[in-house]
Amino acid sequence: MTNGVIEISALVKDHVSPFLQKRVRVLDGLTLTVQQGQTFGLLGPNGAGKTTTIKLSLGLLKPTAGEVKVLDCPAGSKTALSRIGFLPENPYFYSYLTGWEFLDFFGQLFNLSTNQRKERAKELLEMVSLTDAAHKPIHKFSKGMLQRLGIAQCLINEPDVLFLDEPNSGLDPIGRKDIRNILLKLKQAGKTIFLNSHLLPDVNELCDQIGVLHKGKLIAGGKVASICPSGNYKDLEQFFFDVISSCDKQSQPKISSSS
Partner 1 sequence: MHSTLTAIALNTFRETIRDRILYAFVLFAFLVTLLGLVLGSISVGQDIRILEDLGLFIISTIGGIIAVFVGTSLVYKEIDKRTIYLIFTKPISRWQFVVGKFLGLALCILSITFLMGVFLLGIIALFTTSTHHFAAMIASIGFIYLELLFVIALATFFSTFATPLMSVLFTIGLWLIAHVGDSLLLFGKISTNKAITIFCQIIYYALPDLAQLTRLRGHIMAHQLISTESILYLSIYIVGYLVILLTLATFITEQREFQ
217 vs 44: CA distance, rounded Å: 10
Does 153 help bind partner 1 (rule: CB under 8 A)? yes
Cα distances (Å, whole numbers) of residue 188 to 38, 79, 138, 192: 10, 24, 30, 10
Query: Facing residues of 213 across strands?
Result: 218
Q: Choose, by CB under 6 A, the member of 50, 117, 180, 191 that binds ligand ATP.
A: 50
Least gap, CB of 193 to partner 1 (angstroms): 16
157 vs 18: CA distance, rounded Å: 36
Does 197 help bind ligand ATP (rule: CB under 6 A)? no
- The DSSP element (H or E) to which 165 belongs, if any, is strand 161-165
Number of residues interacting with partner 1: please give it, by CB under 8 A. 27
Name which of Mg ion, ligand ATP, partner 1, none residue 92 binds, using a CB cut-off of 5 to 8 Å depending on partner kind: partner 1
Residues in CB range of 35: below 8 A, 6 or more apart: 2, 4, 5, 192
Q: Which is nearer to Mg ion, 50 or 176 (CB)?
A: 50
Q: Choose, by CB under 6 A, the member of 4, 41, 44, 91 that binds ligand ATP.
A: 44
Cα distances (Å, whole numbers) of residue 161 to 37, 140, 150, 189, 196: 9, 30, 15, 11, 14
Q: Choose, by CB under 6 A, the member of 15, 25, 122, 143 that binds ligand ATP.
A: 15
Name which of ligand ATP, partner 1, Mg ion, none residue 48 binds, using a CB cut-off of 5 to 8 Å depending on partner kind: ligand ATP
Query: Which of the residues 26 through 55 are near Mg ion (CB under 5 A)?
Result: 50-51
Name which of ligand ATP, partner 1, Mg ion, none residue 26 binds, using a CB cut-off of 5 to 8 Å depending on partner kind: ligand ATP
